[in-house]
Chains A and B, each alone.
Chain A
Amino acid sequence: MEIRANKKIYKRKGIKKTIEAYNHLGKIDLSENKNYFIVSAKNIDKEIEEIFKDEFCNYLLFETSKCP
């Protein structure tokens, strides 16, 4: 599973905090290209796999809103 977060909207600090919060649910890696942060999630439980991406994005938005 891959989530691409735009660098102009989402903050690096917010992404790191979100990964810390969801790290216990699977193996989450962060990489980036010119315009996007790329979050790769592996070994996520199949029962929560559907909502994992949505909840991760919501939490990411929440953390980004907190950043100045």
Chain B
Amino acid sequence: MRTITLDTNIYSLRSILSTSFVFLDDYYIFLDQTDKEKITVQIKSKEKNGDLEKAVNEFKNELISTNLRLKISEENRKIRELIVSSALYGRPTEKTPFRDPEGISKTWEEKHRRFEKVNDPEGICKVWEEKHRGFEKVNDPEGISKTWQENQHRNPNIHKAVNKGCSMANKPEYTNMFKEQKDGDKSK
């Protein structure tokens, strides 16, 4: 039989119990607390020729592993409970509104809209058309950038040559010429 003395300031009782539980199949384990901060672990092999030295070393390694696992588990307890509760009960509904005091769920534009007017005096955030709308009238006196329909009211004779055929269509002599041809065809 081998006895190990453990400091409870380093290893919690829970981690010692969990580690002992792992060794119950192959060893007899008995715990006692002789001092306020000391716990003794008595390990006895179930086999007659069991390797106790190896068992003690494995026990120590397992104890460190268990102690660390329990510490991490305790540190992550809140987030684990949050994940499980959201998985069981779903996302917050209108009855239980989603709390977002820091606006993490908002987009950048939603979050910084009120700062745009203050921090963008030169209008860097604006598109080109918004920014240069006032200069179009000054820099384009002939209306080159405008469409044909937009320019027609300003200079109606500009496309006279193109529309010559259309203007001729309004004259009665021009249209009668075609009528005569059609009548002639009928007589034939």
Contacts and interface: CB of A to CB of B under 8 A. Distances in A.
A6 B21 contact: no
Interface string A5-20: 0101110000000000
A28 interface: no
Nearest to A64: B17
B28 A54 contact: yes
B32 A9 contact: yes
B21 A62 contact: yes
A54 B17 CA distance: 16
Given A6-B31, A9-B39, A58 B24 contact: yes
A6 B32 contact: yes
A16 B73 CA distance: 30
A65 B33 contact: no
The B interface, classified by DSSP as helix, strand, loop or mixed, is: strand
Interface string B13-44: 10001101100100011111100000100001
A9 B13 contact: yes
Contacts of A10: 31
A62 B24 contact: yes
Given A6-B32, A6-B33, A9-B33, A61 B24 contact: yes
A57 interface: yes
Interface in A21-68: 54-55, 57-58, 61-62, 64-65
Contacts of A8: 13, 33
A12 B170 CA distance: 116
A57 B28 contact: yes
A57 B21 CA distance: 12
16 contacts: A6-B31, A6-B33, A8-B13, A8-B33, A9-B13, A9-B17, A54-B28, A54-B30, A54-B44, A58-B29, A61-B20, A61-B21, A61-B31, A62-B24, A64-B17, A65-B20
Interface of A: 4, 6, 8-10, 54-55, 57-58, 61-62, 64-65
Closest 7 CB pairs of A and B: A54-B28, A57-B30, A65-B21, A6-B33, A9-B31, A65-B17, A8-B33
Given A9-B39, A65-B17, 10 more contacts: A6-B31, A6-B32, A9-B33, A10-B31, A54-B28, A54-B30, A61-B17, A64-B17, A65-B20, A65-B21
